[in-house]
Structure 1
Amino acid sequence: MIRWIMNRFSHHIQFRLTGYFILILLPLVLISLFAVEKSRDILYNQAVQRTETALSSAMNHLDLVFQNVEEISTLIAGDPAMNALLNENGSDFSPQSILAFSYILEQLSNSVSVNRYISQISVYHPASSMLISTHYGGKQLPGDAQKEWFVETARHNGTGISYVKVDYAVTDGVTFGQLTNTDSISLLRAMDLYNSDRQANLLVVSFSKNKLLNIIKTLLPSENSRIALSNEQGEVLLEVGKPSAPHLPDQDMTVTMESSYSTWRLTMVQPKRELYQETDQLRLFTFAIIGLSLILAFTVSWVVYSGIASPVLKLAKGMRRLGNGELGIHVSTNRKDEFGFLIQSFNRMAMVQKRLIEDHYEQQLRLKTTELRFLQSQINPHFLYNTLDSIYWMAKNYDAEEISEMVMNLSSFFRLSLNKGRQVFTIEESIVHLNYYLRIQQLRFMDNFRVEYRISERSKRIPLLKLLLQPIVENAIIHGMEGKESDGCLVISSWVEQERTLFIRVEDNGPGMEEERLQYIQQELDHMDLRKVSAYSQEDEQAKDLFGLRNVLSRMKLYYGPEARLTVQSVWGEGTAVLLSIPWEGERDESDDRGR
């Protein structure tokens, strides 16, 4: 993306003009956006501070309520008369037991009236399985699992206190709220606090849900907000407002206040859109101003471009087309100012250049083309094919399988080499063509080496200059495979990197090269990289060695440009690898290479 912007900025005047106007507006835009976002931050921080203050006050109130209820539970659990009555009565319901339970119920009712946040108080007597409650008197628990839960809770708490939610599952299908007829959280603790040999009598103090909700209900800032009281495990004990939903930090403001008395916390969640209703209107106006400014910037840049930059761009396009060989170019204009004079002068210059090229260079080109076609006509591919085909059938008649296979591969090799004068083939076609040549060499060397192809799918359809790989493969066979009696291996690979470069690698497991020889070869190749294209043929004719590598690199430079590379890597005793690096940017048009 950055590269595209830089390219447009350096090649298009209109793009630069628009960029300059936007650059002028940029400080004002940034300041406006900063002011809007700063106001939103200030509003958010003030809302958080107000909420923290309100939650702190409510949490202190709740702490006092819980502390007072816990003190009442301590008095009840430590009452000697009540504990004596519970310990003395067993499973039978004698008149004395009924009187004792009535006394206990009366004492519990008096405790309920002391604190308005207590809805009911219950005592579970395991000896009789009786749950004595100020709400409904008394009842026996029907299930053994329910009885066991109360007994285990009393033993587990010891002298401590625990709280249980209304929806806590005591047994399968039975919740604590259904068992005790309560709709709020309850305090649980064992009776007979000061007796180490206490029985499993359990005290249950249930809070009034409405009274607790009234403490936090007034803190709700809007109908879409919610406040929840949760314990240390994160379980919601009480909640008021909008039902719980997944917390989204980007959309909700969340403020939490920890209790100084217990491990509980109050949490308020409010949608940010309710906080930002007024600032959102201001931000909308700011965006509208920014959009209008951008429209004005584009409009002014287009007016300036149409009056000044457009004729310059039209002239630049005409020069580019002339440079690409379009000699009949004519840039139309009806301007009478300096730009019109400049364009008319360019048209006259293009006309004169076209006449000179047609009179001199084009004549020489026709002469060279005629000579080339004459030389090509001397080669009769059909005569070659028919002759090789006759040799093939004669070898088949005499059962000379190796000879017939060599002739067949040689015939296929020449047939593709002379295929309608094409100069380029795809990688896939080139490998098929190359395989005929390699098969001939394998028969020649008695199959003492094998060939592996590692051609990536992405590279198969990329066009490649004809017979570019043959000299490289020939060198690998002559210098790498000729001395081997078996286990020779030739690997041909191709792949594309970053959609811009095609890599072809030919490697063998031959004897390799000595360091001195490798340095000499690489120096010669580097020297060819520094030369101009026109100097390739002249200096290559004077060279005394490396004919194959020089030929390949010269053809690569002439056809693919100066970015084409040829690198040789070798380790003595391990083998040699030749890497071709070819620039590639999409499918190359082969129309210019056909029929030459």
Structure 2
Amino acid sequence: MLRAIFQRSSIFPKLVATFTIVIIPLFALSLILNELGKMEVQSRISASMKDKISYEFLSLEQELQRIANTQKQLVNDGEVLDLGSSIFLLSDYQRTKKINDLHDKLQLWKDASPLIRNVSVYIPSSDRIVTTGTVTDMAANQVAMKQIAAAIYKGGYPITQWNNRMYLSMTFPNRQSARDIANRPPLFINNIELSTEALQQMLSRISQEGGAALYGKSWAVGNKRDQSLLAEIRTKLGDREIRGTPDSSVAVGGQRYFVFSEKSESMDLELLTYIPEKALLGTLQSYRIWFWLLVACSLVIILLFSYGIHLLIQRPLSMLVRLLRNVEEGNFHIVKKQNRKDEFGYLFSQFERTVRKLKQSIDELYVQKIRLQQTELKQLQAQIAPHFLYNSFFILHQLIVSYDNEKAESVSKNLGEYFQYITRNSMDEVALEAEVNHVRSYLEIQNIRFSNRISASFTSLPDKFRTILVPRLVLQPIIENAYQHGLRDVLSGGRLVIDFLDRGDELCIVVEDNGSGMPGDERANLQQKLSAEEVTGESTGLINVHRRLKIKFGNKGGIEVQTGPGGGFVVSVHIPCEENSDVPTADR
């Protein structure tokens, strides 16, 4: 079906389709190369981001591990052990000195790491708190220290969240629960409060284009927007392992994000980072836009180039095709001289010369056929007039001798009309009504001549066919042929019928006799001559009439012969009823 449509279409869409088909593989190859390059760059960017995040997370993990290890070394600190176990044995000076030394150590400890906000040591035996911060309510701070130490059993180790604040808490000796701490007070409780602001700054530094959050078993650090978006991302990811590849991208709210994750088994931490795809692949996205812009520009170029070829080639070809179709329809007056100097100019000039010669040949052939038709008409007139004239005068003589004045008057009247019609040479074509009236005059004379042997009958000519122009003397030769050959040997009961049949687009005149008919070989020979396009030698009678009708009406006109139902001879004359059929041939 597509092939048929392609074959029926003009050159312009074929050119556009051809150029498009040729250039599509190039576009496809460029798109594939662009996608491969995008995947490679995306992979390298993802690997770079993964390395960056891994490095930052490793630095955070090492820093937290260092803080935790320093906290564990507090067990072996002499000042803490003395203050926790033998504070009552110390003098006021010794106690004050050890407390000051412990405070200095805690201060150094806090200053050593930006992640530490405050360091506190609670000594239950003396109800003292040594802290780098400010103590406004000793009793409240003591309760808080115990609660923070107890929260580790709910929130996990090493980082514990309490009242939206992050702590590294250690009890010595270790106690299993808050009740255990109350019943058996430890030597000391050490709480290191981590700076949430420092952690958030570190997360912001890890993912400047996106967001990040640090997760424990029951807590998370990050700004609220990052946490809510990451919570939705985690829900969509489910149990899928995240590796920072395009497979770990998810769509949230109509936008795609690349997700990276790092885990620490020793610290029981997880870092989850997201980066918008636009931020990570923004330049690559612009390459795709430029690629499609290139495709659009190429299509426009194809259209312009095809249109240029259309102006240079298709338009003159279309004009040449129109001229050929006009010539095919018989219009030889449409050739216009083209002022072109290229190959099409040569084609147009040669075409014009060919059409001019063809028109000249057709005119010569047409004039020759008209002259042939006139010659044949004159030949018919010469054949008809002599013997019919002799017979008519003989009948008229007999009628006068027998004093049958009425019939003699009819014969003389019809005879005058008859010869007036066939000798009127100024018109080669007449209205069908005039031809029929002429035949009626002929039959009136023949009816008087063969009144005792042959009877002839006429049906009415339909009104719509009365004005059709036909060649003169196309009916009389057929009727005369019936008298001379079909009914010649009939002694009585001869019958001749002329019937006019209206078949819509043509008039069929049927001339039927009940004579002896025509032998099969003669009828076959006659039929062969009627079917032949050209007749050589002398052509008279039915063949003459047939040729003249063909010249006038083309293939739709002519005569047919066949054997009648009763064995007689039937001749059918076909006259088409076409528009402008009443226009004389010379004008047409």
Smaller-chain TM-score bracket: 0.3 to 0.5
TM-score, normalised on structure 1? 0.36
Return the structure number with greater relative CO, CA threshold 8 A, min gap 6. 1
TM-score, normalised on structure 2? 0.37
